[in-house]
Structure 1
């Protein structure tokens, strides 16, 4: 199922045969420098969970593909926010060759639209590594407000929030 499509990108469910794309994506140290460090087997489990989640409702982890070449360029997610149950969380990661091209902004905007359209949440959040200034700028450009930092699994992270506009409530 396609979550979002434009002239630039397609965000869609992974096919079971694309596990190798998902796992190899996380082998790039540049891609993972701002992400939680996991073991190789953890990525296999994340992929299996992603496939199961597609049948359970609005939440998920999807692949981002170049709309022109169909190349796999990243992953994104929309899920319940563990730390504050009434909030939902977005996240995305792209291969380095697609950094600085506006793709992150497009993905984050698509995830916001999807989240507010498909769920009743009034608050969507995003977390970033303290050093990830690129993603922080994307979130601020989209109207996210930076709150006090939050700790997840002992790691301090920037905590951003955007609220559903009054007209969408």
Structure 2
């Protein structure tokens, strides 16, 4: 098992961002289908991927929470990332995730999101979480609803229109 496990689920564990390797994020960032709802399908450059990793590490150290790599328990295989971060220059704490295509449609996003929500409430004492999705991302909307979030409205974050969800404890 990779060290620094923070959150565990039945099939996965989330580790601290210092275990992230460039090639892992690069694989996600360079796939137009994976980036469809993040950058409208435009792959990120290698420099943007490196900056993303650096930002996640800094945020985790500063805030005590962040976006973390997700690994399968049985193989230690990297499958994507999930966790918490501040929503687009606000004080609201957002749940986020992104997974490699072979792991779509297996219920992993819901399993992991529920674990992140429990961690936020029980370990961090967070009273409210938010999430946003691309207006067309039906799969993520279902994950959020299954994880206890309520759709509130359409909003404008990250320079685009999004569906906005909240979960209050």
Q: TM-score range by the shorter chain?
A: 0.7 to 0.9
The question of 1:150 aligning with 2:155 is answered: yes
Specify the SS of the correspondent of 1:56: helix
Aligned equivalents of 2:163, 2:27: Cα separation in 1 = 27
Q: Deviations over 1:57-106 (max 9, x none)?
A: 32212101111111111011301234652x31000011111111110001
- 2:15 aligned with 1:9: no
Partner of 1:135: 140
Q: Secondary structure at the match of 2:6?
A: strand
Asked whether the 8 Å contact 2:66–2:84 carries over to 1, the reply is yes
**Number of residue equivalences:** 163
Query: So what's the TM-score if we normalise by structure 2?
Result: 0.86
Bigger drift between 128-137 and 72-81 goes to: 72-81
For residue 82 of structure 2, what is the aligned residue in structure 1? 76
Misfit runs of 4+, over 6 Å: none
Deviates more, 1:28-37 or 1:63-72: 28-37
User: What RMSD over aligned residues (CA atoms) do the two structures have, in Å?
Assistant: 1.9
User: What is aligned with 1:29?
Assistant: 32
Distance 1:154 1:55 in 2: 26
TM-score (norm 1): 0.86
Closer, same or farther: CA 147–83 of 1 in aligned 2, 3 Å: farther
Structure 2 gaps, min length 5: none
CA contact (8 A) 1:124 1:163 kept: yes
Q: Secondary structure at the match of 1:33?
A: coil
Deviation at 1:132, TM superposition (A): 0.8
Say which SS state the counterpart of residue 71 (structure 2) adopts: strand
